[in-house]
Structure 1
């Protein structure tokens, strides 16, 4: 085996050992696959440049990212994602005694401002959720289910997949709490409101009309667990029925939940917990959405803002 082949073998073995560690730590399969792609791309670049993994320096990482921008048209977001994976891998190599360059662990790229998500007003939400019951029996069945899904998406800020995977034993009716498993297999408990409680109870009486052999809360018309795509389509259809022009999707209802709750409470930490964000900076995007409200509070409260 020549030197290049030996280097390739060693690099691949380090990568697979690290991915095994991530799997044991119960990272999601999607996360592991993304990390695999990002780190493998960097290691392939090092191999082409004949850079031994133990000799990688900060300048090599900078050149790699420049190469990706120039040759692959990477966005700032793509660079941030890849850099996060590479830093974690290099940190693991350092823990294994393979590499020792603390500069790489501290290297960061300035983030571009996040685009603010589109938003519906509370009046728009009311327009969506308080639609009249349809006249036909089939549409009444669909509306009972769709209304329960919409109420829960907005009431508790669920991710789409968290809604789809919700099971009957995840609902604590007396406390009005639900248990969901989010990103990284992290479980959290979230309250749901009175309107969602009513809609869920009505839907479950309708759900009993179809024989099912599973415990998922939301089902399709054939009795099977509803899919992500079906929920997306139904949310769009109900938005059109309500006369809303917004391109409504489940994640937008999660944004509305966060923004409206933050505007009313001002408790960023509580909103972070309910959304299941591990990083507070992820939640802070919603503070920008309430600029008008914050400006009003400032004008009313700050001693240097009051007019004499």
Structure 2
């Protein structure tokens, strides 16, 4: 997975956990490990249990993880049949819903209610600025290195999915937030990661801390609790409202497929009303 597909450590851990749980539940008979007796019914039984306890998106992940495991077991000669094709897909249509977003004013409230003093406040404000202004994912914030910031050119290197690297312009207000953190309360360590934990022993932050930062900001601002990805949606919606094209939005959000960006066209209700046709049998409003 690492050498051929370029998957991250966290993704490989998820695949491994699913494989262990599936094999422990379905490939053990009377205390004996018997993977060669696995059938399509075993795959269905496992997925039905998973779908009952996780979201549709997570269930789709289980399908991918299970198919990968089945292909591997067959190639290694552990299972005699190609059971990868027997893993059923999970219903969940890509364009069936409107992506959740939030108003630009609410995003600004989160920033305004984040303290800009103290070790935690200054760090959290810089993290929020990267998420709200550049749409960085949690893992991309955690991976950010000091060498990724090109102050002379005003650019930042983002290390995304599948070892992909993209260069984005560094807005002045985001750069100022980073400078305040780096020249002030950031622990003086040799670590090259930009963001470090505030409590000893100091170390690079984990991706889930970004969610904690956004959650704390929501509590201070008195808004509904959201996750970091909601701010990414909000950035796309705000760019769309200000006339940016889907191609430009896709470049900022670093989508590999323009169809992913096309989902955000559904949130521009003003533009959609201009092209919507009246329902048959009714008068146009």
TM-score by length of structure 1 reads: 0.66
Distance 1:91 1:72, change over 3 A: closer
Deviations 1:123-174 (CA, angstroms, capped at 9, x unpaired)? 222233345976xxxx355544333221111111112232133222111223
Deviations 1:165-197 (CA, angstroms, capped at 9, x unpaired)? 322211122333211323333333233323212
Shift of 1:66: 4.4
The aligned residue for residue 218 of structure 1 is: 195
Question: In the TM superposition, what are the counterparts of 1:117-128 in structure 2 within 5 Å?
Answer: 118-128=100-110
How far apart are the structure 2 equivalents of 1:69 and 1:211?
50
TM-align CA RMSD: 4.3
Kept in 1: contact 2:149–2:157 (CA 8 A): yes
- Indicate which of 81, 84, 92 corresponds to 1:111: 92
Deviations 1:203-242 (CA, angstroms, capped at 9, x unpaired)? 333247x53333332344458346346544443334444x
The aligned residue for residue 190 of structure 1 is: 168
Distance 1:89 1:254, change over 3 A: same
The aligned residue for residue 36 of structure 1 is: 16
The aligned residue for residue 14 of structure 1 is: none
Between 90-99 and 227-236, the greater mean CA deviation after superposition: 90-99
Kept in 2: contact 1:154–1:254 (CA 8 A): yes
- Secondary structure of 1:206 counterpart: coil
The answer to which structure, 1 or 2, has the higher relative contact order (CA under 8 A, 6+ apart) is 2
The aligned residue for residue 280 of structure 2 is: none
The aligned residue for residue 272 of structure 2 is: 295
**Structure 2 residue 179 is matched with structure 1 residue 201:** yes
The aligned residue for residue 88 of structure 1 is: 68
- Secondary structure of 2:14 counterpart: helix
How far apart are the structure 2 equivalents of 1:133 and 1:41?
43
**Structure 2 residue 43 is matched with structure 1 residue 61:** no
TM-score by length of structure 2 reads: 0.70
- Secondary structure of 2:215 counterpart: helix
Kept in 2: contact 1:38–1:82 (CA 8 A): yes
The aligned residue for residue 16 of structure 1 is: none
The aligned residue for residue 3 of structure 1 is: none
Distance 1:133 1:158, change over 3 A: closer
- Secondary structure of 2:92 counterpart: coil
Larger radius of gyration: 1
Relative to total residues, which structure has the larger helix share, 1 or 2?
1
How far apart are the structure 2 equivalents of 1:219 and 1:30?
19
The aligned residue for residue 260 of structure 1 is: 238
Number of matched pairs: 272
Shift of 1:110: 2.8
How far apart are the structure 2 equivalents of 1:185 and 1:165?
11
Structure 2 unmatched ranges of 5 or more: 278-283
How far apart are the structure 2 equivalents of 1:142 and 1:39?
38
Distance 1:102 1:276, change over 3 A: farther
The aligned residue for residue 235 of structure 1 is: 214
